[in-house]
Chain A
Amino acid sequence: MSALARWFGYLRSQADALAERWHVPLLVNDFLAWLAAGIFLLALITVVSLAAIYLERKISGYIQSRLGPVRAGPVGLFQTVLDALKLLQKEDIVPAAADWRLHLLGPVLFLVTTLMMFAVVPWDRGVNVARWLDLEIGLLYVVAVSGIGVIGIVAGGWGSNNKWSLLGALRGAAQLISYEIPFLLAALCVVLQAGTLSLSSIVEQQQAFVTEWFLWRPALWLAVAIFIIAGVAEVNRVPFDIPEAESELVAGFHTEYTGMKFALFFLGEYGHLYVVGLLFAVLFAGGWASPLGGSSLPFEGFVWLNVKAWAFVIAAMWIRWTLPRLRVDQLMEFAWKILIPAGFLAVLIVSLALM
């Protein structure tokens, strides 16, 4: 009996030490802070996705010489909200011969990894989602988590029991893992320039004045270009939208999804696009810093960060509605034969510039 008690006591002390090191909340106010952070993230991703879908429809309409949504609310602002409500009340159909666990895992994993990426973004001076998530290895964390998102796509494709979906999912997996390398190489250039992997310190180094932004350093221009291209490819957008190529595979890996699961895929996709935009703002454009340096008013930093992130999102939409799609072997060739050597070249250039 006493051996058991001693053993429990030993386990408990180990758990306490671990909790101490990992900042697991034991106190109620810590728990409430966690809860607030979670609600903030979920609300943010919902609002961001709704706004991004609305913006996509309006921008694509205006580029294509037509008005986008106009009837639902003034200038169609409520269109996406109504679409979300419509999707909520749809029947969830799972193909009979499909594995329902994988069918469910796909969108959930996709969305969860996107949400995880939001956690390390510095929203304002000294503000991360929670104080203790100012990870020293923030950038590495983001890239690693986006790699896990690939599993969500493959699970969705396999769990649909559909040859076309499977094709789309496998192509998606190949594409995503191929384009993570130039993505990481471009981010690596910023790491070399800034000397740290922590996102908030990268922003701190760019906040004096707009000319301090890494965007304007000639040594980093190749890295900027590679980051934009690889970022767009990471989000499965045209010209890299092979996994969901509409005209070839009907709808790719999300063909067999209805209702809320379909909505989760879209939430994840637009959320991921927004996260890449945030990363662009943080790595190259000074994050929450206003062009005149620093941020003084409350929420000013948050606003500036969003301005820059949404600029990237709108540019990605512009690219989507202009360019045709790359074929899958051309896409892989582009990644491995052009972008990765260019990525190495960018790292070389930055290293030489820093010597």
Chain B
Amino acid sequence: MLEARARGEYLPSPTTGKPDLPPRQAPTAFTFLWAIVEGAWTLAVGHWVTFKNFWRRKVTEQYPYRNPERNWKPRPGYRGDFALITDRKTGRLRCTACMQCANICPAGCIWIVAEGRGKDRHPVQFSIDAGLCMYCWLCVETCPFGAITMTPDYETATFKPEHLIRDIEYLRTRGLEYHEPLKPIEAKAQHQEGQAEAGDAR
């Protein structure tokens, strides 16, 4: 049964080899006075820590007005707003309305209305409700054609919830602003090539 005021040493830390704290002592006159002296020293040490941090570089990022050299954009691969990719060669959307993304979306925020058959199949209505979306990237992963992606754009707040529904024209326009993404499989291959080259260089 553990006693609330148990005395003794703390167990030593495996990393440093000694306990992090001095042992807990029974209250005698000597330990009382020693606690005052040692306590004052620990408080002073704490002040030195804050004093050091007073002079360190501040980590505030004054978004968005200052620090313009940071363009405030995360890297590609960040799960932000959506885009539908237009194929460079054919000039049409890569999307063939196969419904894979709509099926896999856990929140069910993608609606697609399709037209055409075979090679002609294309979406006429492709809406994503960015308000329902959980930003999980499953739709991007599942798409066999690399037609949908998520851009590093996070400043997508609107004043009305209706405006959060991205329709096909919005998505097409966004897709034109961003490069075609690599599918994860291709990214892996590139990374392995890069590693192999680095290995050869070493």
- The interface of chain A, by Cβ under 8 A from chain B, is 59, 61-67, 70, 318-319, 321-323, 338
CA distance A14 to B72 in the complex (A): 79
8 pairs, CB–CB < 8 Å, chain A vs chain B: A63-B53, A65-B56, A66-B59, A67-B58, A318-B47, A318-B50, A322-B43, A322-B49
**Binary CB contact string for chain B from 30 to 58 against chain A (1 if under 8 A, 0 otherwise):** 00000010000001001101110110111
How many Å from the CB of A313 to the closest CB on chain B?
Answer: 16
Apart from A322-B43, A322-B47, 7 more pairs, CB < 8 Å: A63-B53, A65-B59, A70-B62, A318-B51, A319-B47, A321-B50, A322-B50
The number of A-B residue pairs with CB atoms under 8 Å apart is 34
Closest to B44 in A: A322
Interface size of B by Cβ–Cβ distance < 8 Å? 15
Query: Among B46, B54, B62, which residue has its beta carbon within 8 angstroms of that of A62?
Result: B54
Residue B60 CB within 8 A of the other chain: yes
Closest to A315 in B: B47
CB-defined contacts of B56 to chain A, threshold 8 Å: 65
Q: Are A67 and B50 in contact (CB under 8 A)?
A: no
Q: Are B60 and A63 in contact (CB under 8 A)?
A: no
Closest to A338 in B: B36
CA distance A70 to B36 in the complex (A): 41
Closest 6 interchain pairs by CB?
A67-B60, A66-B60, A322-B50, A63-B50, A322-B46, A62-B54
CB-defined contacts of A319 to chain B, threshold 8 Å: 47
CA distance A66 to B43 in the complex (A): 23
CB-defined contacts of B49 to chain A, threshold 8 Å: 322
CB-defined contacts of A66 to chain B, threshold 8 Å: 58-60
Q: Are A323 and B43 in contact (CB under 8 A)?
A: yes
Closest to B57 in A: A65
CA distance A61 to B54 in the complex (A): 9
CB-defined contacts of B57 to chain A, threshold 8 Å: 65
CB-defined contacts of A67 to chain B, threshold 8 Å: 58, 60, 62
How many Å from the CB of A270 to the closest CB on chain B?
Answer: 21
CA distance A66 to B59 in the complex (A): 6
How many Å from the CB of B147 to the closest CB on chain A?
Answer: 43
CA distance A338 to B36 in the complex (A): 9
CB-defined contacts of B58 to chain A, threshold 8 Å: 61-62, 65-67
CA distance A117 to B47 in the complex (A): 30
Closest to B49 in A: A322
How many Å from the CB of A278 to the closest CB on chain B?
Answer: 23
CB-defined contacts of A61 to chain B, threshold 8 Å: 58, 60
Task: Select the residue from B50, B56, B62 with max chain A CB neighbours within 10 A.
Answer: B50
CA distance A29 to B61 in the complex (A): 57
CA distance A59 to B60 in the complex (A): 14
CA distance A61 to B56 in the complex (A): 12
CA distance A321 to B57 in the complex (A): 18
Contact flag A64-B36 (CB < 8 Å), given A322-B46, A323-B43, A323-B46:
no
CB-defined contacts of B53 to chain A, threshold 8 Å: 63-65
CA distance A321 to B51 in the complex (A): 10
CA distance A223 to B47 in the complex (A): 21
CA distance A319 to B62 in the complex (A): 28
CA distance A66 to B53 in the complex (A): 10
How many Å from the CB of B162 to the closest CB on chain A?
Answer: 33
How many Å from the CB of A327 to the closest CB on chain B?
Answer: 15
CB-defined contacts of A63 to chain B, threshold 8 Å: 50, 53-54
**Binary CB contact string for chain B from 47 to 87 against chain A (1 if under 8 A, 0 otherwise):** 10111011011111010000000000000000000000000
CA distance A63 to B46 in the complex (A): 12
CA distance A176 to B36 in the complex (A): 22
CA distance A319 to B51 in the complex (A): 11
CB-defined contacts of B50 to chain A, threshold 8 Å: 63, 318, 321-322
CA distance A65 to B56 in the complex (A): 7
How many Å from the CB of A159 to the closest CB on chain B?
Answer: 36
CA distance A338 to B58 in the complex (A): 39
CB-defined contacts of A62 to chain B, threshold 8 Å: 54, 58
CA distance A61 to B59 in the complex (A): 10
CA distance A59 to B47 in the complex (A): 13
Closest to B36 in A: A338
Closest to B66 in A: A70
Closest to A64 in B: B53
CA distance A66 to B54 in the complex (A): 9
Closest to B46 in A: A322
